[in-house]
A and B are shown apart, each in its own frame.
Chain A
Amino acid sequence: MKSFLFAAVTAAATAVAGVAFAGSHGNFKPAVIYDMGGKFDKSFNEGVYNGIKRFTDETGVEVMEFEVTNEAQREQAMRRMVQRGATVVLGVGFGQADAINAVAGDNPDVMFSIIDVNWLNQPNLRQYAFKEHEGSYLVGMIAANFSKSGTVGFVGGMDIPLIRAFECGYKQGAKAANGDIRLLGNMTGTTPAAWNDPAKGAELTRSQIDRGADVVYQAAGGTGVGVIQAAADAGKYSIGVDSNQNHMAPGSVLTSMLKRVDVAAYNTLKDAMDGNFDAGVYNLGLAENGVGWALDENNAALISDDMKAAVEAAAAGIISGDIVVHDYRADNTCPVE
């Protein structure tokens, strides 16, 4: 009953939205608000920037942008973009959830979209969430298959359920590929500063290598740069995240877990421009190409045909539903320790 009600509300909202947003093509004005990391953070914000850049290159439409430097600026920036005639505003990251919720509520005629949020409810707000656990499962399989020491590690950024979901998916994948695998895991910290502490990332990586790990997966924003560097220095292997980071230490980065925030950013603007914008929650997983793993000339020599076949079989299994990867966020527990 509840889900039926929700579906009805969503359908009604979409219908209203469709009417309200039709014909907005003429004075289409997109805007994006990057969060405190800044648009060149080599990670999450930069992924969004890449999507925005692709949109501008393809359509020739300039996108208004702003990088916030303190908490109060988030809401201010969104309101200012609306005042300046923005017809679609894209927020980046869960830190902007409260701000976009308030501004979207006050401006029902403007389209809003936010990435990494799925708990809000506004008729003119599209929310993108990713099934990071599915992509992490695949790179976990690669790590366990590749490891010669039988120990693989994980370094997370800020200790929040989102990053636990990365870790949990990775461990499930590693366990599935090798039942005897030893798993290590560390979080960098409990504050947003943990997203940008490469020195500590390197330290944690060296410690995991000392404990026998030969592959370390990181989901830690700017901190991950230190993880990749430390693994390369020690002659071991790392796994990148969000964007394709294989090129950062060719031959040492085993693969990258891709989280296509660029696709979310591009689709938001493209749909808004073409009049196809709809509100609601988009959960992007393997089936929707929202997550995946990176194979290019930098890591082709590391990935054997057997490993590739095994991962592709697992990906097909996840898409078909034969393999169910547990999402840590569902109950805040992980079946694999």
Chain B
Amino acid sequence: MFKFLGTPPPLPRWAEVLLLPLINLFVAFLACALVIAAIGEKPVEVLWTLFQGPFLFPGNMGYTLYYTTNFIFTGLAVAVAFHAKMFNIGGEGQATLGGLGVGLLVMALGGSLPMILMVPLIVLSSAAFGAAWALVPGYLQAYRGSHIVITTIMFNFIAAAIMVSLLSGPMMQPGQMSPQTAPFPGNAILYKTHDVLHWLGIGKVAESPMNLSFFIAILALIGVWLLIWRTRLGYQIRAVGHNPEAAHYAGINVPRVVMLTMAISGALAGMMALNEVAGAQQRVILNFSGNYGFVGIAVALIGRNHPIGIFLASLLFGALYQGGTEIDFNYQSITREMVVLIQGLIILFSGALYYMFNPWLARLLYLVLPRKSSPEGAVS
């Protein structure tokens, strides 16, 4: 008999990468359809809107990629730390500090430098502030044994408090009521993509908050891949993640690697501010980090901590955010709370329950597919 109770046979690579996610997505949509039918809307229509919203409606691709940019940065931040088996829950606070870094730099230099100098400085400033904010919990973990999960969570609160006191105090724009700075001067922003395309003469593209930081995010994806799998430091990070004692025995300076990993992780989270502060809002506003730091944890988990996976997971989350907005626009009977429920179901099935169908699918394929030579075939 085939082994229903024992260890399932291994899943072929193509099935794991392609078939399993599709099955998961299909079941997720099925569950959503039941919920939508229960409140009296047409499931196929609503789910079609969820697909049209992010990709087909004119101008909406920009919004999708704008959300995607946030998730790429925060997802990468979590993933890098996770390769050293550390949970960086502080993406939210590191992003906030990154925004503060951008804001302070722009307020200090104003319009005095040309854009060609200003933009690299902004990128550096966001990364440096985010890195510094992650470095303190990193130090406490490496040399004092304070658990990184606890310290990074607490640093989120400290970051939020710092931001509040600055934005409702010295950094606040006078003459209005919102806790936000004055708009940045034109040399200190990342251009919106639709402006750039228009300027290049590619025609009129619908407006969206998508900006050049998307391309910085793509560079970051490549950079993280190179770092983790093609550099000595990346090897050390993975070695520390697999077994700190063995890494130490092999001559790796474990505390130093822990601190460096956290600094890189924090820098990536801080660079999320490039999209929100320097690109989309072009000023520092309160709560611009909008929980993207926490969603980054889910992005990294679904993306299996690999840059390609993180890009796809970010795109999925971006599409869900934008598609959800579109459902909210189109159906008065579906409230924003319902939208969150639909998004949650899809994330649940494609992320948390990812391996639910794995053993069954593996057994099915094992039975159905022709086998070249299988020693286990004899067991039955």
Q: How far is the CB of A192 from chain B (nearest CB, A)?
A: 7
**Other-chain residue from B164, B177, B336 in contact with A69 (beta carbon distance below 8 A):** B336
**Other-chain residue from A72, A76, A79, A190 in contact with B168 (beta carbon distance below 8 A):** A190
- Say whether A71 contacts B329, CB under 8 Å: no
- List, in ascending order, chain B residues with CB within 8 A of A282's CB: none
Q: How far is the CB of B258 from chain A (nearest CB, A)?
A: 33
Q: How far is the CB of A81 from chain B (nearest CB, A)?
A: 8
Binding-face segment, B214-222, B278-286, B348-356: B278-286
Q: How far is the CB of A100 from chain B (nearest CB, A)?
A: 13
Q: A261–B126 Cα gap in the complex (Å)?
A: 41
**Other-chain residue from A38, A64, A71, A75 in contact with B288 (beta carbon distance below 8 A):** A71
- Can you name 22 A-B pairs with beta carbons within 8 Å? A38-B336, A66-B329, A67-B336, A70-B290, A71-B281, A71-B287, A72-B209, A72-B280, A76-B63, A76-B208, A76-B325, A84-B329, A94-B177, A97-B176, A98-B178, A116-B177, A119-B175, A159-B168, A190-B168, A191-B164, A191-B168, A192-B287
Q: A75–B280 Cα gap in the complex (Å)?
A: 11
Cβ of B303 < 8 Å from any Cβ of A?
no
- List, in ascending order, chain B residues with CB within 8 A of A95's CB: 178
Cβ of A80 < 8 Å from any Cβ of B?
yes
Cβ of A275 < 8 Å from any Cβ of B?
no
- List, in ascending order, chain A residues with CB within 8 A of B325's CB: 73, 76
- List, in ascending order, chain A residues with CB within 8 A of B328's CB: 66-67
Chain B residues with a Cβ closer than 8 Å to the other chain, count: 26
Binary contact readout A29-62 vs B (1 if CB under 8 angstroms, 0 otherwise): 0000000001000000000000000000000000
- List, in ascending order, chain B residues with CB within 8 A of A76's CB: 63, 208-209, 325
- List, in ascending order, chain A residues with CB within 8 A of B280's CB: 72
Cβ of B54 < 8 Å from any Cβ of A?
no
- For B180, give the chain A residue with the smallest CB separation: A98
Q: A161–B2 Cα gap in the complex (Å)?
A: 74
Q: A162–B168 Cα gap in the complex (Å)?
A: 14
Cβ of B45 < 8 Å from any Cβ of A?
no
- Say whether A191 contacts B176, CB under 8 Å: no
- Say whether A119 contacts B290, CB under 8 Å: no
Cβ of B294 < 8 Å from any Cβ of A?
no
Known: A72-B66, A94-B176, A162-B177; 4 extra A-B contacts, CB below 8 A, are A71-B288, A160-B177, A190-B179, A192-B286
Q: How far is the CB of B53 from chain A (nearest CB, A)?
A: 11
- List, in ascending order, chain A residues with CB within 8 A of B286's CB: 191-192
Q: A161–B287 Cα gap in the complex (Å)?
A: 20
Q: A161–B173 Cα gap in the complex (Å)?
A: 13
- List, in ascending order, chain B residues with CB within 8 A of A64's CB: 332
- For B281, give the chain A residue with the smallest CB separation: A71
Cβ of B165 < 8 Å from any Cβ of A?
yes
**Other-chain residue from B63, B176, B179, B329 in contact with A119 (beta carbon distance below 8 A):** B176
Q: A73–B290 Cα gap in the complex (Å)?
A: 12
